[in-house]
């Protein structure tokens, strides 16, 4: 096996230089962070959320001064498992598994643990007590969005629902959707559809066109992933139904904000964490493990409800302004330690 010390010289990685010096009391191995090597193994990477998440991972890795290698499987589950094995063979100190399928990631993650590598999972359940799960509190994301839908529309409406099973965050959001329907029997779900085929928004739009044509009485679309919501909005706009259909979603980006603020937009609210902050938290969680500290079995980043009315009232046009005007969105005091250096704000 290639040694950890020679990892950075043998792979095409990003040598990340810290923007601020680490505290003198940094524990091993962060007293010599240039010899710490971590890998991010991605399943999903298409869309603004995942670009921002990657940016957060890169910035926090840079602030800590560690070397980062990124593997992108582009939604190929078998390839993602192979990439975990590649990271193991390269002798990394730690691995972040970002999304994926339980059936393909469970054994791969265990192989990494067996090799003495610290592992963190973001939004994929690898069913391993040794591996902390970083989550966006997906049930709260769905709850906040659906509370907004109920506040805006009452508790009796015809709904369409966008869902793809087997993806951990979508499955957790689905649990909340089922609970809300059970508590509000006046919600009539007439269509469930969804796809993760790239480009996701356009693929969902193709499906949504057919759904709206077959169910012109739909009043609310619950699309708990922003790429889903983008696709639904395309179809709603094309059908001339913006005044009839209201869209509620999860996740946010600058592009989402612009779509929500369009005149007469059907996209009324989204519940979100800052994906860049989630990326930072993922790296900090791994750093705690590497330093011999316990981040806990579940590391949860709390979400914020973002409404169309709020964006218009505060004149928010992008993610930077959202963080500035909603400070809770700009940083999560999660997976922190006094010796850690944070990215510059």
Give the 3-state secondary structure of residue 196. Answer: coil
The Cα–Cα gap between 243 and 26 comes to: 56
How many domains would you assign to the chain?
2
User: Looking at the structure, do residues 236 and 146 belong to the same domain, yes or no?
Assistant: yes
Give the CATH number, domain containing residue 166.
3.40.50.2300
Q: Is residue 162 part of a domain?
A: yes
Arithmetic mean of pLDDT, 325-336: 91
Q: Is residue 215 part of a domain?
A: yes
User: Looking at the structure, do residues 40 and 108 belong to the same domain, yes or no?
Assistant: yes
Give me the pLDDT at residue 116, please: 98
User: Looking at the structure, do residues 153 and 256 belong to the same domain, yes or no?
Assistant: yes
Give me the pLDDT at residue 307, please: 98
The DSSP annotation for 93-138 comes to SEEEEES--HHHHHHHHHHHHHTT-EEEEES-----TTS-EEE--H
The Cα–Cα gap between 131 and 119 comes to: 6
Q: Is residue 341 part of a domain?
A: no
The Cα–Cα gap between 273 and 304 comes to: 6
Q: Is residue 204 part of a domain?
A: yes
User: Looking at the structure, do residues 148 and 262 belong to the same domain, yes or no?
Assistant: yes
Q: SS3 helix, strand, coil % of the chain, rounded to 5?
A: 45, 20, 40
The Cα–Cα gap between 303 and 7 comes to: 36
Share the mean pLDDT of the chain: 92
- Cβ atoms of 89 and 6 within 8 Å: the answer is no
User: Looking at the structure, do residues 58 and 160 belong to the same domain, yes or no?
Assistant: no
Arithmetic mean of pLDDT, 173-195: 98
* Residue closest to 47 by CA, chosen among 166, 174, 202: 202
Phi then psi dihedrals of residue 157, to 5 deg: -160, 160
- How is residue 144 written in tokens? 């906040």
User: Looking at the structure, do residues 66 and 119 belong to the same domain, yes or no?
Assistant: yes
Q: Is the pLDDT of residue 35 over 50?
A: yes
Arithmetic mean of pLDDT, 46-73: 95
The Cα–Cα gap between 240 and 192 comes to: 21
- Cβ atoms of 134 and 163 within 8 Å: the answer is no
Q: Is residue 73 part of a domain?
A: yes
User: Looking at the structure, do residues 222 and 251 belong to the same domain, yes or no?
Assistant: yes
pLDDT grade, residue 12 (50/70/90)?
Answer: very low
Arithmetic mean of pLDDT, 191-202: 96
User: Looking at the structure, do residues 260 and 111 belong to the same domain, yes or no?
Assistant: no
Arithmetic mean of pLDDT, 51-63: 96
The Cα–Cα gap between 254 and 317 comes to: 7
Give me the pLDDT at residue 276, please: 93
User: Looking at the structure, do residues 198 and 212 belong to the same domain, yes or no?
Assistant: yes
* Residue closest to 35 by CA, chosen among 60, 13, 57, 54: 13
Phi then psi dihedrals of residue 70, to 5 deg: -110, 130
Distances in Å between the alpha carbon of 47 and those of 4, 39, 201, 223, 239?
Answer: 32, 21, 9, 15, 24
Could you list the residue range(s) of the whole structural domain that residue 245 is in? 138-272
Q: Is the pLDDT of residue 203 over 90?
A: yes
Q: Is residue 149 part of a domain?
A: yes
Tens digits of per-residue pLDDT, 62-119? 999 999 999 999 999 999 999 999 999 999 999 999 999 999 999 999 999 999 999 9
Q: Is residue 5 part of a domain?
A: no
Give me the pLDDT at residue 47, please: 82
The Cα–Cα gap between 126 and 107 comes to: 8
User: Looking at the structure, do residues 190 and 292 belong to the same domain, yes or no?
Assistant: no
Give me the pLDDT at residue 201, please: 96
- How is residue 75 written in tokens? 């939604």
User: Looking at the structure, do residues 225 and 280 belong to the same domain, yes or no?
Assistant: no
Distances in Å between the alpha carbon of 67 and those of 8, 36, 62, 272, 320?
Answer: 7, 6, 8, 29, 27
Give me the pLDDT at residue 104, please: 95
Dihedral of the alpha carbons of 54, 57, 58, 64, in degrees to the nearest 10: 180
User: Looking at the structure, do residues 108 and 257 belong to the same domain, yes or no?
Assistant: no
Instruction: Please tell me the pTM assigned to this model.
Output: 0.80
Last residue of a domain, one of 272, 292, 325: 272
pLDDT grade, residue 48 (50/70/90)?
Answer: confident
Tens digits of per-residue pLDDT, 144-158? 999 999 999 999 999
Arithmetic mean of pLDDT, 208-222: 98
Tens digits of per-residue pLDDT, 204-214? 999 999 999 99
Arithmetic mean of pLDDT, 180-186: 98
Give me the pLDDT at residue 151, please: 98
Give me the pLDDT at residue 345, please: 75
Last residue of a domain, one of 272, 288, 320: 272
**Which residue has better confidence, 264 or 327?**
264
- How is residue 191 written in tokens? 């269509």
Of 1-15, 25-39, 285-299, where does mean pLDDT reach its minimum? 1-15
Of 13-17, 125-129, 228-232, 280-284, where does mean pLDDT reach its minimum? 13-17
Tens digits of per-residue pLDDT, 300-317? 999 999 999 999 999 999
Q: Is residue 114 part of a domain?
A: yes
Give me the pLDDT at residue 327, please: 85
Arithmetic mean of pLDDT, 269-278: 95
């Amino acid at each position: 096996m290639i040694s950890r010390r020679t990892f950075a010289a043998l792979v095409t990685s990003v040598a990340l230089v810290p923007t601020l010096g680490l505290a003198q009391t940094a524990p091993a191995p962060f007293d010599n962070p240039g010899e710490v090597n971590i890998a991010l193994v991605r399943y999903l990477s298409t869309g603004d959320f995942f670009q921002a998440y990657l940016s957060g991972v890169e910035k926090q890795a840079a602030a800590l001064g560690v070397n980062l290698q990124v593997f992108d499987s582009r939604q190929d589950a078998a390839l993602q498992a192979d990439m975990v094995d590649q990271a193991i063979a390269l002798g990394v100190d730690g691995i972040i598994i970002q999304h994926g399928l339980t059936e393909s990631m469970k054994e791969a993650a265990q192989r990494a643990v067996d090799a003495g590598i610290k592992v963190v999972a973001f939004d994929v359940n690898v069913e391993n007590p040794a591996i902390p799960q970083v989550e966006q509190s997906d049930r709260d994301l769905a709850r906040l969005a659906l509370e907004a839908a109920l506040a805006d529309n009452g508790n009796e409406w015809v709904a369409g629902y966008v869902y793809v099973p087997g993806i951990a965050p979508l499955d957790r959001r689905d649990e909340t959707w089922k609970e809300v329907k059970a508590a509000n029997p006046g919600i009539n779900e007439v269509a469930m559809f969804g796809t993760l085929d790239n480009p996701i928004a356009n693929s969902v739009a193709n499906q949504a066109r057919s759904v709206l044509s077959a169910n012109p009485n739909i009043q609310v679309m619950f699309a708990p992933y922003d790429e889903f919501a983008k696709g639904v909005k395309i179809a709603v706009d094309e059908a001339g139904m913006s005044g009839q259909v209201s869209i509620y979603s999860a996740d946010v980006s600058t592009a989402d904000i612009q779509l929500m603020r369009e005149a007469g937009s059907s996209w009324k609210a989204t519940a979100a964490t800052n994906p860049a902050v989630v990326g930072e938290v993922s790296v900090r969680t791994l750093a705690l493990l590497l330093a011999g500290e316990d981040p806990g079995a579940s590391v949860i980043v709390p979400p914020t409800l973002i409404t169309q009315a709020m964006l218009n009232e505060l004149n928010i046009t992008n993610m930077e302004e959202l963080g500035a005007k909603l400070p809770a969105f700009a940083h999560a005091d999660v997976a922190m330690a006094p010796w850690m250096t944070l990215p510059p704000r």
